Structure 1
């Protein structure tokens, strides 16, 4: 409670019926006698009582003063301003007597009437706020205390009371404002600076918290270890872990913060969050040794793995197991230990650790995959060192590197005459000197003109009206109507132009149809991709199906001779420098009920990156991160480092389990492992139509073929098209689809002897103009058509690339289908964002984002 001084002068009316001198000569007894005689009006009696209150206050009889004011107010004879003044005075007298409920009752009419803050003295508002606080009515105390400061009360007592009330009421922004005033009034009061930092942390203003503590530090006020640790933690909360680590390290070295196990652990965390992983090793080791905590040894092992210190990692994991039980984390530890042994080529120890991990439900599936991988691994194929994989320092910036040998001679000799009879190359497209486009498609159209000559594709200068840079692509063919529609009735007329998957959809669904539109060869790429593709003809080759060498930037095989070479062109097709995608996907049951969920994908390309072209011999194709999105929160993530040469370094995969704040290493396999959250309808190697290894199939290049394929499907990305309308039972709404006649490469993949995959045979149909897989027929081991993939190609004319989306996977046995890359009701796909560096895709960086 704040003591309120009472001065008699405050209670004298400014309106008197007699001159002041005469009033002052009148004694209190005279006035009381006049009241007893009952003469005069209520107005006069109210003034007399007001005057008596002033006299009583002068004499120190505050109880009498309260009584006189109560009687005067009850008469309701004075004007509103005078009555408000009396209520304000009475409230202060009641506050001085500790009559807090009476204070509230006295001031309530002003509150009910919404009286202006300036209607009464600031001390009255202060008395009301204090009364509410004394009664524990924190929310009601806020408004009168704010009014008190508005009308001129600026003393330290007011702001201290405001601080207490605002904190109790959960008004942390207002509490920070009160503390700002307190540090101005009393800048040498350390408690105010520490409180200001704490309140700013509480309200999420981490930078302001650091600022307050730094000022206190410069003033020499942080003179205890706990206060210094408050600054260290503020640095961490504000996203400045390097500052936190260096400050904590210096203070521990100088003895100003004790070298306890807890502080070693805090220092290790700070260095780790700063991505100074090597510096985190020693403090984490000290913390583990000081406590014998098996969890700390497990963390030390994981950190050593991040640095690819495999022997040190296995030692730390052994000490963790020897130190005691770590409960539910035992399976994760065994899984990590197995990987550390595997990286040291200790296959038997690795298998033992993985077999032990299989006993723990949380990691049983992953451990089982590792055992299967070790059993299937070709002899002599040893794991390679992965130094710097998780980062031995801060994230590096993208750099432009030159390749080896011919890296600077990507411009092929193309000055020869064009004697093919095809149309001349448009501006920006190098003349190839043959009948093919720069990426290897046949330039000429077909005999009946249903496939036109390629004339450069759909480029930025040919963007349709209405397109705005950076926005969604606009359908350039929105006004077109189908040339014909294929139905079950006329199917035989077009059967030879259709995939087995499309024919099966006609057989299963009587209402299925395919609207076929005029063909537009829209595929186009940047000039750098064309020239690099021409140069790759002289140097790209396969050491084995999964090991490509000599390719840079463009398509590796302009004139493929094998099925694997065609699939490599798909894998390395230009897809921009980086991608951020927020799309949707849905499992659609045979009754049409669709389970839609959100998905976020982030990709930084190493190969085909025009801003930072990788040199020949660099092994990263792309860094890929996919997360299922639950209202802005990650519900599980997969991180992939996709490599180009398996002999020099295999694909590396990490996964997070929903609810667990850590990553698990996954074997470098995909194959027919079901992709999570697809209800078993998609295997991992079906992502991006096909992204798997090539070792389980024999790949036969059948040749080129004219077919009716999904193409220029802009309508399927229209935000006005709802999922409810599109995703119908059995198949999407055929009226929204667009099919055209194009030439495709046909590749047949048959299961290699001794290998195993749920799909015995797969037939791929790859667009000749873009090398995008448009369709896949997938057969079971008995030779029955099982699942059909259909990717709807769209030319992003603003970026000069072709991408498939949406993609549908039909289960022709049970009637369900899976739709992915849906963007109608989602933000969509954003290319060339410039937001990523390779360090952003390190496992440690993902762990930071999972916090």
Structure 2
């Protein structure tokens, strides 16, 4: 991890400076004078009868007799507004453990008159917001969390995080960003959650440049989170920045962060996209042999085609042969034959081409022309001429056939070979 930390440490400093250099207003601006007034107001206490009821209910709750505790509270009545609000608060707290909708009902009644002590009112408002979020009443939850901020004056990272999450769950992705930024701003330490929400929202909004900027920050702040490196490498492809994608994935790979089949295949594809076919093939080959990458037609063909592009013809022939054995497809034999032909392995090429022809490969005339090459350069003029006559059956090959026909006849005559 030393190399990775050195690489990102300077960037982290830059990010920290950029965050503190500008002063941005929070999404919710409480009136702090009113907050102080609320904190200073006279504390009320419940009446004796209600107090005894609360003690009894609390004792039952501690004995894990929740239903009995609720029954005691539901049976209690008071004409005093503060007492009633307090009873409703206790009912809301207890229902929160078993029935969200009932909890919402009683907590709403508890906070509405704004008569509870500052601490109790704040706690009840927060719990109400949590219950609304849990009950998937997302818009109401947002309002409840904002009311809590206005009431307490507290700029709380976790609350902004929940507001951002509620907007995301409502698919209001454009509204996720401001509270997510506030969650980052007011956090006591750097946390991943708000950045992940911003990432998800920007992806849905197709704001790919902004998305990449956020994920670049994420890998700088949380370099040991393996998944963030994979995300960044993948997201660079959305803006066709394949060089950056490859660099990012290479760094992740060097740190041992690419642990899944899909991640290794992504790296290999980036090598291919950046015209580094040899690395594309060898990375896939290595992890196929280890068992991480599945040995299937697509992956074998990928290795073969990239070895071919890297002019590693023998390796390409080997892997096209693997594809052929697995799939019994004529085209795989044709490709294997072409690879052998490129390195003058003529007999191996002939075997592969003959196999392709026996399976009715597409564009047979082209395969016959390849056989012409393979036989001719072994001075097998009779076989080369026979292959040429088969190619001649395709009118599209007329020009090539004419140029070869006289040449083969001349060579055969010189060598005394009867065609």
What TM-score do you get using the length of structure 1 for normalisation? 0.31
Q: Which residue of 2 aligns with 1:98?
A: 136
* Residues 294 and 325, structure 1, Cα contact 8 Å, conserved in 2: yes
Q: Which residue of 1 aligns with 2:168?
A: 133
Q: Which residue of 2 aligns with 1:14?
A: 32
Which one of the candidate residues 246, 269, 275 is aligned to 1:233?
269
* Residues 347 and 374, structure 1, Cα contact 8 Å, conserved in 2: no
Q: Which residue of 2 aligns with 1:485?
A: none
Tell me the SS of whatever aligns to 1:317: helix
Q: Which residue of 2 aligns with 1:317?
A: 353
* Residues 11 and 89, structure 1, Cα contact 8 Å, conserved in 2: no
Q: Which residue of 2 aligns with 1:165?
A: 201
Offset at residue 218 of structure 1 (A): 3.8
Change (3 A) 1:65 1:253: closer
Offset at residue 298 of structure 1 (A): 0.6
* Residues 333 and 352, structure 2, Cα contact 8 Å, conserved in 1: yes
1:23 aligned onto 2:59 = no
Change (3 A) 1:333 1:64: same
CA distance in 1, matches of 2:303, 2:390: 33
Structure ID, larger Rg: 1
CA distance in 1, matches of 2:223, 2:136: 32
CA distance in 1, matches of 2:46, 2:239: 56
CA distance in 2, matches of 1:288, 1:307: 19
1:275 aligned onto 2:311 = yes
Q: Which residue of 2 aligns with 1:330?
A: 364
Offset at residue 156 of structure 1 (A): 1.8
Offset at residue 20 of structure 1 (A): 5.6
Change (3 A) 1:332 1:277: same
* Residues 180 and 197, structure 2, Cα contact 8 Å, conserved in 1: no
User: What are structure 2's unaligned runs of at least 5 residues?
Assistant: 1-27, 48-84, 94-102, 115-125, 147-154, 413-419
Offset at residue 321 of structure 1 (A): 1.9
Offset at residue 317 of structure 1 (A): 0.8
Higher strand fraction: Structure 1 or Structure 2?
A: 1
Offset at residue 100 of structure 1 (A): 1.6
Higher helix fraction: Structure 1 or Structure 2?
A: 2
Q: Which residue of 2 aligns with 1:371?
A: 401
Change (3 A) 1:97 1:378: closer
* Residues 168 and 176, structure 2, Cα contact 8 Å, conserved in 1: no
Over residues 258-288 of structure 1, what are the superposed CA-to-partner deviations in whole Å (9 max), with x where a residue is unaligned? Answer: 7666554333222222233344333333433
Over residues 599-634 of structure 1, what are the superposed CA-to-partner deviations in whole Å (9 max), with x where a residue is unaligned? Answer: xxxxxxxxxxxxxxxxxxxxxxxxxxxxxxxxxxxx
Which one of the candidate residues 183, 193, 197 is aligned to 2:233?
197
Offset at residue 296 of structure 1 (A): 1.2
Q: Which residue of 2 aligns with 1:296?
A: 332
Q: Which residue of 2 aligns with 1:265?
A: 301
Over residues 302-344 of structure 1, what are the superposed CA-to-partner deviations in whole Å (9 max), with x where a residue is unaligned? Answer: 223333544433332112123x233x44343334334444555
Q: Which residue of 1 aligns with 2:279?
A: 243
CA distance in 2, matches of 1:380, 1:15: 106
Over residues 160-201 of structure 1, what are the superposed CA-to-partner deviations in whole Å (9 max), with x where a residue is unaligned? Answer: 333333344444444444444444555444444444433344
Instruction: Describe how 1:633-652 pairs up with structure 2 within 5 A.
Output: none
CA distance in 2, matches of 1:378, 1:67: 100
User: What are structure 1's unaligned runs of at least 5 residues?
Assistant: 1-9, 30-51, 73-87, 109-119, 383-851
Over residues 25-64 of structure 1, what are the superposed CA-to-partner deviations in whole Å (9 max), with x where a residue is unaligned? Answer: 25799xxxxxxxxxxxxxxxxxxxxxx99x979x957667
Offset at residue 158 of structure 1 (A): 1.6
Offset at residue 300 of structure 1 (A): 1.3
CA distance in 2, matches of 1:342, 1:372: 15
Over residues 619-667 of structure 1, what are the superposed CA-to-partner deviations in whole Å (9 max), with x where a residue is unaligned? Answer: xxxxxxxxxxxxxxxxxxxxxxxxxxxxxxxxxxxxxxxxxxxxxxxxx
Instruction: Describe how 1:144-543 pairs up with structure 2 within 5 A.
Output: 144=178, 147-148=181-182, 151-152=185-186, 154-184=190-220, 186-223=222-259, 227-251=263-287, 263-322=299-358, 324-326=359-361, 328-344=362-378, 349-350=383-384, 352-357=386-391, 364-365=395-396, 367-375=397-405, 377=407, 380=410
Q: Which residue of 2 aligns with 1:681?
A: none
Change (3 A) 1:240 1:18: closer
* Residues 252 and 258, structure 2, Cα contact 8 Å, conserved in 1: yes
* Residues 281 and 303, structure 2, Cα contact 8 Å, conserved in 1: yes
CA distance in 1, matches of 2:142, 2:250: 42
* Residues 91 and 128, structure 1, Cα contact 8 Å, conserved in 2: no
Q: Which residue of 1 aligns with 2:74?
A: none
CA distance in 2, matches of 1:331, 1:238: 34
Offset at residue 217 of structure 1 (A): 3.7
CA distance in 1, matches of 2:308, 2:409: 37
Over residues 759-809 of structure 1, what are the superposed CA-to-partner deviations in whole Å (9 max), with x where a residue is unaligned? Answer: xxxxxxxxxxxxxxxxxxxxxxxxxxxxxxxxxxxxxxxxxxxxxxxxxxx
CA distance in 2, matches of 1:70, 1:350: 96
Change (3 A) 1:17 1:103: closer
Change (3 A) 1:313 1:101: same
CA distance in 1, matches of 2:398, 2:36: 102
What TM-score do you get using the length of structure 2 for normalisation? 0.56
Tell me the SS of whatever aligns to 2:33: coil
Change (3 A) 1:356 1:251: same
CA distance in 1, matches of 2:144, 2:296: 58
Q: Which residue of 1 aligns with 2:76?
A: none
Offset at residue 123 of structure 1 (A): 5.7
Q: Which residue of 2 aligns with 1:468?
A: none
CA distance in 2, matches of 1:134, 1:255: 39
CA distance in 2, matches of 1:21, 1:224: 54
Tell me: higher relative CO, structure 1 or 2? Use CA pairs within 8 A at least 6 residues apart: 1
